[in-house]
Structure 1
Amino acid sequence: DMQTGSYRPGAAKGFEFFKEIDIKSYAKEASRIAKTMLGAKYAPSGKMPVIIENEFGGVIFHEACGHGLEATSVAKGLSVFAGKIGEQVASSIVSAVDDGTLSNEWGSSNIDDEGTPTRRNLLIENGILKGYMVDKLNGRRMGVESTGSARRESYKYAPTSRMTNTFILNGTSSLEDMLSNVENGIYAKYMGGGSVNPSTGDFNFSIMEGYLIKNGKITEPVRGATLIGNGPEILHKIDMVGDNLAHGQGMCGSVSGSIPANVGQPRIKIKDIVVGGR
């Protein structure tokens, strides 16, 4: 839903995936998380530093920022990023792209659903907004060319600008570097679901597996933690970016139906964000 944003983890990565997947490893990891969280205490609440792990941690950027960079909302002035090309919209250590050309990735294709070749679109470079994801119709409204970003679920939907493989680029910080700066905080190993308002960037996301950070060390597991914030504001509060970029697969729902899309990021540290707990 374009008004609330929706993204759910995918179960497959193309036809080859079914030959390569190790069901036992997935089952073992799921049981480990369940067992860990079963005995976990409730998370504390308040504003604190949070370290978010790589891969599906990128769902926050996808929802809280990515949808706002689609011409579907930008062309109508419904996005908080409309008219901000060339402006500082994130911390200077943050760069992000949408790349539909990545080989064999979940959101990739040779051409978009209007026949335009897909390409690597630089969205944010060193914190500066460089571009949007644009389809032909909204491109005419904005006076810019298509970026090969028109997508739809099937012939039943009109194509519009959508994400493909959208991710934050690698930085240089290690987990040890990030932890050393945190006295009291949260380590989000796995993110869960959530919701966002693309017109404002306000979001809330649950943490599926999280731990307390005490004096630079990851300690006991906590449950019931949620991250509450605003996408554009959080982009400015990212003060460390890791070097372990990875992608997570899912299905993204919007006005042109449900489509396969990758989210992704390296591990990031947010200086402070509201954590909902007890």
Structure 2
Amino acid sequence: MLSPAIAKDVIDHAMFLGADFAELFVEQSRTHSIELISNEIDKINGGIDFGIGIRLFFGTKVLYGYTNSTDKKELLKIVDILTAKDRKNLQLESVSFNFMKGSNLHEVSQPLHQSNNLESKLSFLHLMNQSARSESNKINQFIGRVAQKEQDIEIFNSTGLHVNDNRNYIRLAATAIAQDGGQQSTGFEGPGAMAGWEFHTHIDPKYLAAQVSKQALIKLNAAVCPSGELPVVIGNGFGGVIFHEACGHLLETTSVAKKASVFYDKLDETIANSVVNAVDDGTIANKWGSINIDDEGLKSQKTQLIKDGVLTSFLVDKMGGIKTGYQPTGSGRRESYKFAPTSRMRNTYIESGDSSFEEMISSVEKGIYAKKMGGGSVQPGTGEFNFSVQEAYLIENGKISKPLKSATLISTGPEVLKEISMVGSDVEYSAGMCGSSSGTVPVTVGQPSLKVNKILVGGGNE
């Protein structure tokens, strides 16, 4: 996408002006999305975006700029502007690139550049809409969406790295809204993968639509959740969002390097119950948060974050490694060429344990089963969180009883890790989007069902 000769001249110029490190991130992305609402196709959008990001290091200072042009004069001009206040001893060595073509772990048969598969996508959305509404006449709205993206990247840097990669993303989303008199509730599912349109053959549109409709209907006349400190069984899959938000971000060198994380000095110390093992793995084939290489050109890897309750690693990008002394973990990610990369999660999950779901439920005299988690808020420095529960049930005398509404879970990452006493063997994963200082990127959260001995539960009022 960019001439290596131009890349060489730009990087040589940056190094001549005293940069300690120089990098060019070249990207071209195709996107295509369709949205159905109120029984009709509401939006069909698509486009192509191209740009080049230029990142320079002067010590631990990061300078960043970008352009949509491949013109050498424009790229050199950006370097001159970025370095205007930081120029120092001139470096006369010239960079020599060593091109590397990495292996692709994520097989794709229907990429966006071949076809947008418009008719097939329209049929999928209409079938979901019909199926959702057929569940009940109380389903008064259904929103369906298909979004596909293909991203080509090329990276050059002053260490001689030259590498490229092709990435394909597909995400389906279904939202059902149920209404009964003045009561209204919603259900949502959003499966995604690092794949092409062929991913939809693994998803039954009728089943997906039925899932979100049943979620919405169950909550319509549910009882108000009780409040207080209670044991909670958190369901598998998207339940992992709590670990991602309240703990995972605290293990990124973005916060660790600034000592803005409660875990910054806890490496090799026990931070969780011994049944907890947590991983961030960018190598799982076709998972939504997977990558062949990160956005700094490093090969993706599996990073063990917690082993038997002990903190074993952080998530480290290049600058994070410079600031902390830790080795990069292939975790440097960015939304696009408009952002400088920082340390970010990929597929982050708690690994399987040896307890059964039935054992967890039967061990609770009175508590909450949080089957499906919703959104929430987190204080980055402390890990304090407040998460809503999208689908919840009361547990009484070791059995799941009535559905609940207005349930929230309130705690901190460090506290909840220590209160996990049972971990199931039913690990599942869910797709999501994560926003941080380097933009919004695809991530996977996951976990088996697990039991938290005590956590503050917030209820609601009738």
TM-score with structure 1 setting the length: 0.95
- Tell me the SS of whatever aligns to 1:144: coil
2:372 to 190, 197, 200: 190
Contact 1:9/1:248 (CA < 8 Å) preserved in 2?
Answer: no
Choose from 158, 162, 166 the match for 2:344. Answer: 162
Amino acid at match of 1:199: G
In structure 2, the residue matched to 1:213 is 395
In 2, Cα distance between the equivalents of 1:76 and 1:104? 33
Give the structure 1 partner of residue 415 of structure 2: 233
Match of 1:153 in 2: 335
The residue number in structure 2 matching 1:95 is 277
| AA partner of residue 31 (structure 1) | S
Larger radius of gyration: 2
Identical aligned residues as a percent: 56
- Segment of structure 1 superposing worse, 55-64 or 28-37: 28-37
**Partners of 2:325 and 2:255 in 1: how far apart?**
15
Distance in 1 between residues matched to 2:262 and 2:189, nearest whole Å? 26
Instruction: Give 1:25 shift.
Output: 0.9
Q: Where does the alignment leave 5 or more consecutive residues of structure 2 unmatched? A: 1-187
Does the 8 Å CA contact 1:12/1:18 hold for their aligned counterparts?
no
Distance 2:339 2:191 in 1: 24
The code of the aligned residue for 2:287 comes to E
Q: Which residue of 1 aligns with 2:288?
A: 106
Cα distance in structure 2, aligned partners of 1:177 and 1:198: 34
Could you say which residue in structure 1 is the equivalent of 2:212? Answer: 30
Q: How does 1:22-171 map to 2 (within 5 A)?
A: 22-171=204-353
Aligned residues: 271
Counterparts of 1:244 and 1:143, CA distance in 2: 37
In the aligned structure 2, how far is the partner of 1:177 from the partner of 1:21? 30
Contact preservation (8 Å) 2:189, 2:208: no
Tell me the distance in 1 between the aligned counterparts of 2:315 and 2:409.
26
CA distance in 2, matches of 1:203, 1:12: 25
- CA distance in 2: counterparts of 1:272 and 1:225, whole angstroms: 15
Amino acid at match of 2:213: S
Match of 1:3 in 2: none
Higher RCO, 1 vs 2 (CA within 8 Å, ≥6 residues apart): 1
Give RMSD over aligned pairs: 1.2
Query: Retained in 1: the 8 A contact 2:191–2:430?
Result: no
Q: Which amino acid aligns with 2:220?
A: L
CA deviations on 1:3-35 (whole Å, 9 max, x unpaired) are xxxxx9745323232343222111111111111
Q: Distance in 2 between matches of 1:37 and 1:252?
A: 27
> Which of 192, 199, 222 does residue 17 from structure 1 map onto?
199
Deviation at 1:111, TM superposition (A): 0.7
Deviations 1:10-62 (A, max 9, x none): 45323232343222111111111111111101000000000000000000000
Please tell me the residue identity of whatever aligns with 1:252: C
> What corresponds to 2:384 in structure 1?
202
CA distance in 2 between partners of 1:272 and 1:192 (Å): 19
